[in-house]
Structure 1
């Protein structure tokens, strides 16, 4: 299992890049095909024809975009909302914004 700071945005039910988003710790399976975030199990959505999403919740079928955060904070392309930074990720995320390596990037 690999754990790293990621940008996660809910896509289902919202216009492009208008859904709620978070910066937080995401745990990935050894194969990187499954991600665990906020008690959800997200499966990689390759070949499923999802629009603007790369993971889906295995229980609810909600679609998500999961990616590494950007230092310039341009994680959403069109949305004006800032992502919520989870409490346990604040210090590591601030260090990343100041130029430190992305926490958890050592695992692959």
Structure 2
């Protein structure tokens, strides 16, 4: 599943951001991305809708916008896009090429060890 992910903690809408393939938990409340598990914040975040289970950092996670304007209106900075999702992203936004003023193609990010985080959450509940 293709998503827009932006680090919000301490970044004033200028944080690092990615367009990447993610995995979702069965409930859809956890997003697995770049070795992290991002849990739905359920209104507890200040400017974010997810938080990192390990660090507590806040993230904004959303679907990619068809107009290509994924950053917050007050934000700025390059958005990194995984090489393996470029073709899918271009189909979604209806474009023929990447806007290099806004996007930088990077190597695909590492997958998350989902089992590690399932064990972490189950340990916390016990």
Query: TM-score by structure 2 length?
Result: 0.70
The equivalent position to 2:88 in structure 1, one of 56, 72, 92, is 92
For the residues of structure 1 that align with 2:48 and 2:56, how far apart are their CA atoms? 11
The residue number in structure 1 matching 2:67 is: 72
Structure 1 or 2: larger helix share? 2
Report which structure shows greater RCO (CA 8 Å, sep ≥6): 1
Structure 1 runs of 4+ aligned residues shifted over 2 Å read none
The residue number in structure 2 matching 1:103 is: none
**Gaps spanning 5+ residues in structure 1: where?**
100-108
Report the count of equivalent residues.
94
Q: Does 1:20 align with 2:16?
A: yes
For the residues of structure 2 that align with 1:91 and 1:53, how far apart are their CA atoms? 28
For the residues of structure 2 that align with 1:53 and 1:47, how far apart are their CA atoms? 8
- Decide whether the 8 Å contact of 2:2 with 2:63 is kept in 1: yes
CA RMSD across the alignment:
1.3
**Gaps spanning 5+ residues in structure 2: where?**
96-126
C-alpha offsets along residues 38-74 of structure 1, whole Å, 9 cap, x if unaligned? 01011100142x1110000000001000000112122
Query: TM-score by structure 1 length?
Result: 0.81
The residue number in structure 1 matching 2:2 is: 5
Q: CA deviation at 1:13?
A: 1.7
